[in-house]
Structure 1
Amino acid sequence: MALSPGHPLNGERVLRIPRSSNDVFKIHKEKKIGTRNVQSMYQPGKAANRVKEMKRLQIDILGCSETRWPDSGHCIIDEHHIHFSGDNTTRNINGVAIILNNQTNKAVQGFIPISNRVALNKIKAKPFDLNIIQSYAPTSESDDQEIENFYKQLRTGLEHTKKEEFNIIMGDMNAKIGQGKVENVVGGFGLGVRNERGERLIEFCQEVDITIMNTFFKLPPRRLYTWRSPADNNHRIVRNQIDFIMINRRYRNAVISCKTYPRADTPSDHNLLLARTKLRLKKVVRKKTPRTSCMQKLKQDNVLRWTKERLNEEFKNISENNNHEIEIEDLWNKIKVSITSVTEEELRPDRLVKRQQWMTDSILELMEERRQHRNRDNVKYKELHKKVIRAIKEAKEERWLQEKCVEIEILQKKYDNFNLHKKIKEATGGYQ
């Protein structure tokens, strides 16, 4: 056994006792949970940009406000799962989403899209389940009735949870809490001056017994403000704290830190707000569905050729290895097994198609270069931002869509209506 470098009083070194892996008490594990008003993910490339920042900052769960995606559903971008709830009209207003990395998504029990301002994600965890409620409150120009409807929707989300569970409400609350401690709700490190909407938020927190965590950590103002006003410039600073992460009071000690990241690269006047928590997730065991084959793949020449060759080879082996006295039932079972094994291997259905297939490595490199200049060189940042938008437009419209249109024309000439409509849906970009 190795000797420890430490010396007792008699000058002799002591033996180091190695720690067994069984001695480590693994109940909690640190997770990063963040929220941000992204000011629309409808623009091409913005969702991929969020995922890229999640990877860079190693964020497990990211809530997004004002996504402007229609309807509600689920999609995958680069092994990150986006659960979203949006507007059912054609206006594409409001909208919230919760993005989970692949490991966290394995523990998801369910997603409840309550409205285009509130959505709930239920996650299996130890010692208690985790519930994430992402929100986007009405702006200050909204009337009181709209505000009350919003808080009713938050209560609806909490009705799907239990008091003993780890409940987090986060998002753009469009309220100024300001400075001034409120027992068990607001800490002593808020920012700015409290307004009427802030008072209403505090009332709600007292009613449901939750704590606003980003007011409990002593930090410089640049780590506290979450929104920069359009009037903010080199001569005048106009910055406020209107995005919050709120946790039921009994678990507030589970939050290690809660602060903003002004340099996170997503074109928005809101900063990323990130909390570090200690929590261990538990994988949800789902029922396995029987594997099926996709016969549509036989329309691909190379797949059809390989399938024919495999089947001919299997049938040849059956013919050579069997005598004429074999029972018909046994012969049929061998043929059935051969056909099943070949179709499962060659005609296996594709996994869920990732959105934004047109995204290229060069665009992601441009995004990374743009991030390096954020809050450092605004001129260079704007120049690179234009390049990113131009590259996205070129990749999507001039290459990807052109290829899709050619495929659609070929399918139309073949009168293949099933795949024709499938390709049209892919090209038009339905979010479901």
Structure 2
Amino acid sequence: MDRNHILLASENARASPVCDAHRQPLDGVRNMQRVPSAQRRRLKKRVGEWRCATWNIGTMNGRSREIAETLKQRKVKILCVQEVRWRGGGVIEIGEGYKLYYSGNRTGRNGVGIILDEELKQRVVEVQRPSDRLMTIKVLAGKSLVNIVSGYTQQIGCEDQEEEEFREQLEQSVREIPEEEEIILGADLNCNVGETAGGYEACHGGFGYGLRNEEGEKMLETLESLELVLVNTGFKNRDEHITTYRSGDSSSQMDFLVVRKRTRKNVRDAKVIPGEAVAYQYRLLVMDVTFSTKRKRETTGKKLQKIKRTNGKNYQKWKVRYSKPAGGVSHPQEDEDEQVSRHIGGGGRNVGCLGE
């Protein structure tokens, strides 16, 4: 075969079906037109996903930098920490872009905290520190407000009055949060909720660990009344990915991540990550949850005109319903379009024909 035939053959050659020429890179894809539909759906589902965690770290003294490096390696955006053991309350940068908000007492015992990554620490709306065993941070996530709660219950064997006070304080804090806002609770509850749901299917996923004790029974009753769910009991894992505390031959599940009942479907996974040497007995518990990051679009004049053209009957109903506001005071200076536009922009959620 001469040189011209070789060149012609090389120009007409096709890549093998398994070569890299047929593989579309998925990392950093902006325009997903060439991505297969199944993979495109998976990519869209991952948008707005947060990795949240809870960890009893024993003490923050001398461990701040190590904890920050672990969070960066594990790609954790939110960490609820227990047993901070710092006095008072404050805010401090711990490295790698993470910021710690903590709440302690005068003695330097107990203490809880919440660590946020570089992105979320810019979205903090409010910080509340009710006690050295409970604190809340409200952050903005697109159209949602997310309340991050860190809690630490008294250890087993303490007085019943102290345990009851914590449950009452937790219940009060949760009930003060508006229903439309999200909740992420990371806590060391120091109780055993049991391996199975056993009558508490509303808040227990059926994949727990160990035998339920009296403290666990009371905590389940409290969570059920608040319509909260123990996320890490809803995934079937091996024991090493379930137990959050190990000391010698004994192990237990005492740390939990909790969300609202309606948010449970947005949690993709929840498990313990063994092997981190920061806290020797307690283990890091993580979950991946998705929140919508898109804001609601306001109704404009063009939208109003479109509604008028396509649904004239409903427009007439709006005129009758909203021509006279509460109190019977009319607005003669406003024409009908202005009245309808004003009420759609304010109280339009209650109008069924808007599709909400």
| TM-score, L = length of structure 2 | 0.68
- How much has 1:267 moved relative to structure 2? 2.9
- How much has 1:47 moved relative to structure 2? 1.4
Counterpart amino acid of residue 33 in structure 1: C
Going from structure 1 to structure 2, the CA distance change for 1:270 and 1:27 (only over 3 Å counts) comes to: closer
Counterpart amino acid of residue 207 in structure 2: F
Equivalent residue of 2:119, what SS? Answer: helix
Q: Deviations over 1:111-147 (max 9, x none)?
A: 1111000000101113421111100000012111101
Correspondence for 1:117? 133
Q: Deviations over 1:179-200 (max 9, x none)?
A: 1222121112111110011001
Q: Number of residue pairs matched?
A: 262
Correspondence for 1:223? 241
Correspondence for 1:179? 195
Q: Among 76, 80, 86, which residue is 1:59 paired with?
A: 76
How far apart, in 2, do the equivalents of 1:20 and 1:133 lie?
42
How far apart, in 2, do the equivalents of 1:96 and 1:75 lie?
14
Correspondence for 2:171? 155
Correspondence for 2:275? 263
Correspondence for 1:70? 87
Correspondence for 2:48? 29
Counterpart amino acid of residue 206 in structure 2: G
Correspondence for 1:206? 224
- How much has 1:25 moved relative to structure 2? 6.1
After superposition, where does 1:7-406 map in structure 2 within 5 Å?
Answer: 19=33, 28-41=47-60, 43=61, 45-78=62-95, 79-87=97-105, 89=106, 91-181=107-197, 182-229=200-247, 232=248, 237-280=249-292
Going from structure 1 to structure 2, the CA distance change for 1:51 and 1:192 (only over 3 Å counts) comes to: same
After superposition, where does 1:415-430 map in structure 2 within 5 Å?
Answer: none
Would the aligned equivalents of 1:189 and 1:215 in 2 still touch at CA under 8 Å? yes
How far apart, in 1, do the equivalents of 2:150 and 2:161 lie?
20
Structure 1, unaligned stretches of length 5 or more? 7-12, 284-432
How far apart, in 2, do the equivalents of 1:101 and 1:4 lie?
45
Going from structure 1 to structure 2, the CA distance change for 1:18 and 1:268 (only over 3 Å counts) comes to: closer
How far apart, in 2, do the equivalents of 1:155 and 1:75 lie?
28
- How much has 1:5 moved relative to structure 2? 8.9
Would the aligned equivalents of 2:190 and 2:255 in 1 still touch at CA under 8 Å? yes
- How much has 1:73 moved relative to structure 2? 1.3
- How much has 1:157 moved relative to structure 2? 2.1
Would the aligned equivalents of 2:139 and 2:146 in 1 still touch at CA under 8 Å? yes
Counterpart amino acid of residue 92 in structure 2: C
Counterpart amino acid of residue 274 in structure 1: V
Counterpart amino acid of residue 70 in structure 1: R
Residue identity (%)? 28
Structure 2, unaligned stretches of length 5 or more? 1-13, 23-30, 36-40, 296-356
Two-structure CA RMSD over aligned residues (Å): 2.7
More strand as a share of residues: 2
Q: Deviations over 1:313-336 (max 9, x none)?
A: xxxxxxxxxxxxxxxxxxxxxxxx
More helix as a share of residues: 1
Would the aligned equivalents of 2:138 and 2:146 in 1 still touch at CA under 8 Å? yes
How far apart, in 1, do the equivalents of 2:102 and 2:91 lie?
6
Would the aligned equivalents of 2:171 and 2:222 in 1 still touch at CA under 8 Å? no
How far apart, in 2, do the equivalents of 1:27 and 1:57 lie?
16
Going from structure 1 to structure 2, the CA distance change for 1:25 and 1:59 (only over 3 Å counts) comes to: closer
How far apart, in 2, do the equivalents of 1:129 and 1:203 lie?
26
Correspondence for 2:9? none
How far apart, in 2, do the equivalents of 1:60 and 1:279 lie?
13
Equivalent residue of 1:146, what SS? Answer: helix
Counterpart amino acid of residue 19 in structure 1: Q
How far apart, in 2, do the equivalents of 1:157 and 1:126 lie?
23
Would the aligned equivalents of 1:85 and 1:97 in 2 still touch at CA under 8 Å? yes
